[in-house]
Amino acid sequence: MTAKKLKVGIVGGTGYTGVELLRLLSVHPNVTLTAITSRGDAGSAVADMFPSLRGYVDLAFSDPAQANLSECDVVFFATPHGVAMGQAQTLLDAKVKLIDLAADFRLQDTAVFEKWYKLPHSCPNVLREAVYGIPELYREKIKSAQVIGNPGCYPTTVLLGLAPLLEQGLIDYSAPIIADSKSGVSGAGRKAEVATLFAESSDSMKAYGVAGHRHHPEIYAQLTQLAGTELHFIFVPHLIPMIRGMLSTIYVKLSEKAKSVDLQALYEQRYQHERFVDVMPTGSLPETRSVRGSNQIRIALHRQAEAGYLTLVVVQDNLVKGAAGQAVQNMNIMFSLPENTGLEVVPFLP
For residue 176, is the peptide bond before it cis, meaning its omega torsion is within 30 degrees of 0? no
Residue 234, phi then psi, degrees to nearest 5:
-115, 130
Distance CA 304, CA 319 (A): 32
In degrees, rounded to 5, the angle at the alpha carbon of residue 119 between the alpha carbons of residues 115 and 121 is: 95
16-25 and 325-334 helices, crossing angle to 10°:
50
Distance CA 179, CA 41 (A): 39
In sequence order, what DSSP letters do the residues of 2-68 get, joined into one string? --SPEEEEEE--SSHHHHHHHHHHTT-TTEEEEEEE-SSSTTSBHHHH-GGGTTT---B-B-TTT--
Distance, first Cα to last Cα, the chain: 36
Is 123 annotated as catalytic? no
Distance CA 148, CA 25 (A): 17
Extract the runs of DSSP E, i.e. beta strands, from the chain.
6-11, 31-37, 74-77, 97-100, 131-132, 147-149, 177-183, 206-207, 233-239, 246-253, 277-279, 297-304, 309-316
8 A C-beta contact, residue 124 and residue 158: no
Tell me which of 72, 75, 137, 153 is the catalytic residue.
153
Neighbours of 215 (CB within 10 A): 22
Active site residues per annotation: 153
